[in-house]
Structures are given as structure tokens and as C-alpha cells.
């Protein structure tokens, strides 16, 4: 079968493309614009890891370029689409919202329209736990009210879910959105907490923890996330009488205090952190925790990798890649 993966040079996109290519049952086309939001060398290094797989091909392209992307989809005719390309980052969305409008709103509209013209069996797209905003009470359930996301990033992801509902209703396009909860692991983004914290500890530079390190995060190992993506991909939502669209949480369901997360990294890196405890940061949520009832019923999803083991694997990669 043919699978198109957008954001294939990104963190989750790389791991997903690799899992599909390793199965030897998929012809995988990875698409990524290779933006400079963070170090492009890391993205190219991920692609080098994918290069040996005969089942994988890469094309540098912009999925937000509507006509060109529609032409690409029409030419490749994928059986499945995994849309993981987006402008990430909660805090950066407060500084550069235009980038999120283009990539997360216009870009997703481009993907939907391309798939309407050349319909695959199923489109799975990345949403985020950031859609749960003001008033949300953990554990977060998919049917909770998500009309008040705190960050603009969260607002764009909420908009994606609403846009998907419209396309499912009007064009019978099979769509599933996945709300990821604080994904970590090898090849992670340098702007995310694990790498930021590990680098600060290794270098002996101040490590700034907002809300005095008391924020709780549902850290989810990337292999568990990919397990969910691949299983869900093969099971499209039910057709009418309801629109063929749904949303699932993908998380670990065991939130951990940020300060404890740092202490675990200290033990693995065998070095003490220079911690600065700061007030809450605008746009941050104090706690995230995924209710997994719905996704467990649908595909028997259950995270397997404990935080202790996941961090051990991450630190081993961090030391090798960054030569620390």
C-alpha cells in the first residue's frame, strides 16, 4: 500500500515513516519543506536514517502550496495519508502567529482539498493536547469542551478538527485527528523540554522552570505514539449516518511534575542541574493528562514504555548525537 507522510523530517514524522518503511508492506513517500524553525541539520540527519530503506522516498515540498500539493497527491495516489507537518511550538505561537496561520490553517486546508480531489482510504492528522484550554479538568476526555484553547497554536489545532469535520460531512472523507500529549524520545526537537533540559544540565547553564517546576505533563514516549498512529491508520472511522471523522487522545495517562522530570534527567546524566524556579509562563497549561478510554476501546491502545526507560533511551541518543 502507498502511504504519504507529511512532516517526514520532523520528530514524529520521522519515526512514523521509519516504522512504515520497516514493515516492508508500504511504499512510503515523505514530504517536508525543511523549514528553519529549528536546526535543519537535525532534520537532514533524520532523513539520513531513512535513506537505506528501499520502501522510502523523500520529496522536499511545501504542503501549504495548494496546487502543487494537490498535483503531488494526484500523481502518487496514496492509499493512506498521515499529516504530521505543521508549525509546532506553544510559546513561539505567541510571538509569530502568522507562521501558524499559514502552515496549520492554510496548510491543513491544502491537505484536505488535495485529499478531496484524490481520496485516500483514510487521512490521519496531528492535533494536540493544547486544544484543551481554560476550564479543562484532567484527565482530558475527547468530548470535553475545547472552545477555549489558551495558546494560538492550540487554537489552530482546534480549527483543524473543525475543518476535518466539515470535509468529512460534505465529502465523505475518512479523517481521524490525534491529540498528542507531550511526546519525547530519541531524535526529539531541540526546542522541547527533554533536549532543552538535558543540554542545560550537561552544559551547566541555568535551567528555567516556569510555575516553579510544578507543571504536570503527560510525557509519552514516541514509540507508543507511533504504535497508535499506525494502528489507527488501518481502521478508518465508520461511515454514515454520522460523518466519518473522529478524534482520539494519544498519551501516557501518568502526568509527572516538571521538576521531577529534571531530577530523573540529572540521575541519568550524572550531573546536577542549576535550576531557576520562575512564575507561570503565559500560554502554558498547568496540567495535561490523557483519558485513553476511547482509543483503548477502538484499537486496544496501551502505552508500553515507562518514563524511566524512555528517558534512558533518550539520554543515550542525546549523548551520541550531541557528543555530550
Question: pTM for this structure?
Answer: 0.96
Mean pLDDT of 61-65: 98
Share of the chain above pLDDT 90, in %: 94
* Structural domain contains residue 271: no
pLDDT band at residue 147 under the 50/70/90 scheme: very high
**pLDDT over 90 at 136, yes or no:** no
Convert the chain into a string of H (helix), E (strand) and C (coil). CEEEEECCCCHHHHHHHHHHHHCCCCEEEEEECCCCCCCHHHHHHHHHHHCCCCCEEEEECCCCCHHHHHHHHHHHCCCEEEECCCCCCCCHHHHCHHHHHHHHHHHHHHHHHHHHHCCCCEEEEEEEHHHCCCCCCCCECCCCCCCCCCCHHHHHHHHHHHHHHHHHHHHCCCEEEEEECCEECCCCCCCCHHHHHHHHHHHCCEEEEHHHHCCEECCEEHHHHHHHHHHHHCCCCCCCCCCCEEEEEECCCCCEEHHHHHHHHHHHHCCCCEEEECCCCCCCCCECCECCHHHHHHHCCCCCCCHHHHHHHHHHHHHHHHCC
Q: Is the pLDDT assigned to residue 241 strictly greater than 90?
A: no
Does residue 112 belong to any structural domain of this protein? Answer: yes
Does residue 191 form part of some domain? no
Residue 312 lies in a domain: no
pLDDT at 284: 73
Is residue 324 assigned to a domain? no
State the average pLDDT over residues 126-150. 93
Give domain status of residue 275, yes or no. no
Q: What is the CATH number of the domain that holds 137?
A: 3.40.50.720
pLDDT at 239 (0 to 100): 73
**Residue 134: which pLDDT band, with cuts at 50, 70 and 90?**
confident
- Give the model's confidence band at 283: pLDDT under 50 very low, under 70 low, under 90 confident, else very high: low
Query: Residue 167: what are its φ and ψ, rounded to 5°?
Result: -70, -35
- pLDDT tier for residue 59 given thresholds of 50, 70 and 90: very high
**Within a domain: 55:** yes
More confident residue, 238 or 298: 298
Does 193 map to a domain?
Answer: no
Q: Which domain holds residue 91?
A: 2-184+220-252+290-304
Q: What is the pLDDT of residue 282?
A: 73
Model confidence at 231: pLDDT above 80: yes
Number of domains present in the structure of the chain? 1
Give the residue numbers marked as catalytic. 153
Q: How much is the average pLDDT of 144-167?
A: 96
Amino acid at each position: 500500500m502507498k502511504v504519504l507522510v507529511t512532516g517526514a523530517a520532523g520528530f514524529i514524522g520521522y519515526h512514523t515513516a521509519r516504522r512504515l518503511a520497516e514493515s516492508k508492506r508500504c511504499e512510503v513517500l515523505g514530504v517536508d519543506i525543511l523549514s528553519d524553525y529549528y536546526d535543519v541539520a537535525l532534520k537532514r540527519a533524520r532523513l539520513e536514517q531513512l535513506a537505506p530503506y528501499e520502501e522510502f522516498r523523500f520529496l522536499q515540498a511545501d504542503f501549504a502550496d495548494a496546487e502543487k500539493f494537490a498535483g503531488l497527491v494526484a500523481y502518487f495516489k496514496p492509499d493512506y495519508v498521515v499529516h504530521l507537518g505543521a508549525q509546532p511550538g506553544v510559546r513561539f505561537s505567541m510571538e509569530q502567529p502568522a507562521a501558524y496561520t499559514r502552515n496549520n490553517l492554510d496548510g491543513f486546508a491544502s491537505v484536505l482539498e488535495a485529499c478531496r480531489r484524490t481520496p485516500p482510504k483514510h487521512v490521519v492528522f496531528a492535533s494536540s493536547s493544547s486544544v484543551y484550554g481554560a476550564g479543562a479538568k484532567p484527565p482530558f476526555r475527547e468530548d470535553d469542551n475545547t472552545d477555549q484553547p489558551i495558546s494560538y497554536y492550540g487554537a489552530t489545532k482546534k480549527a483543524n478538527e473543525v475543518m476535518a469535520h466539515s470535509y468529512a460531512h460534505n465529502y465523505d472523507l475518512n479523517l481521524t485527528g490525534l491529540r498528542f500529549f507531550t511526546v519525547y524520545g530519541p531524535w526529539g526537537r531541540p526546542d522541547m523540554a527533554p533536549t532543552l533540559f538535558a543540554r542545560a544540565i550537561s552544559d551547566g547553564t541555568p535551567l528555567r522552570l516556569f510555575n516553579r517546576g510544578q507543571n504536570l505533563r503527560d510525557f509519552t514516549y514516541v514509540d507508543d505514539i507511533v504504535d497508535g498512529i499506525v494502528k489507527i491508520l488501518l481502521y478508518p472511522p465508520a461511515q454514515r449516518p454520522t460523518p466519518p471523522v473522529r478524534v482520539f487522545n494519544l498519551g501516557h495517562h501518568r502526568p509527572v511534575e516538571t521538576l521531577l522530570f529534571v531530577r530523573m534527567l540529572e540521575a541519568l546524566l550524572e550531573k546536577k542541574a542549576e535550576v531557576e524556579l520562575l512564575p507561570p509562563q503565559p500560554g502554558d497549561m498547568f496540567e495535561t493528562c490523557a483519558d485513553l478510554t476511547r482509543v483503548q476501546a477502538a484499537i486496544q491502545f496501551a502505552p508500553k514504555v515507562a518514563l524511566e526507560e524512555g528517558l534512558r533511551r533518550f539520554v543515550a541518543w542525546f549523548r551520541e548525537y550531541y557528543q555530550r
